[in-house]
Amino acid sequence: MESADTQYIENLLPSIKEITAPDIRQKVAQAWLNLWHEGSYRRIEDCSWFEAMRGEITWSNHEHSEQVAKVAIAAAQAVREAQGIEVNMDYVIAGALLHDVDKLVTFDGRTHELTNKGAGLPHGFFGAKAALDVGLPVEIAHICLAHTSDSPTKPRTVEAVIVHFADFITGNVRMLVEGRPFSYGSLMSSYVAGAH
């Protein structure tokens, strides 16, 4: 991976620098780059957090991912301190940063509509696949696949539970303070079902 590519991802996702294992940090960046190159967005920053509400929602997918990482880090530290439960922080950060990376290929960067991939497989699938394709542990792929309320699998690790709830906290709090409707279910599943 070129140093310019690394710098690009680090500028978009500063929490990536908190991953202590260099190989995990590099592979998270590579997963983002791979899906960006596979998709149709001119820049990673052009992908909205939720394309169906692109005109109403002002934050991008990478901004949301960074916010989820920050909330997940704080939650993981609280779980460690309050409950004495061990948490793999590298997995939490990597999973949080990758949980929505698949939007780069499940939405079309030109039309902002679902692609065949987005309509054909559940949200999180291509993020999990991208994680595995670059050699990240299955536990990180599991976080991607299990992060929504309608995921094909439920969170089965401490790290996956933390990222799942960090995602909902981040998205729902922002929707609430901006006066937008939100649900505890998946916006993506509503979109796929035609409820947009």
Q: Looking at residue 117, which CATH number applies to its domain?
A: 1.10.3210
- The tokens for 6 are 């690394």
Which domain does 104 fall in, by range?
3-192
- pLDDT tens, N- to C-terminus, the chain (196 residues): 688 999 999 999 999 999 999 999 999 999 999 999 999 999 999 999 988 888 888 889 999 999 999 999 999 999 999 999 999 999 999 999 999 999 999 999 999 999 999 999 999 999 999 999 999 999 999 999 999 888 889 999 999 999 999 999 998 888 888 887 766 554 444 444 443 3
* Domains: count for the chain: 1
Q: For residue 88, what are the contacts with CB-CB under 8 A and spacing of at least 6?
A: 139, 159
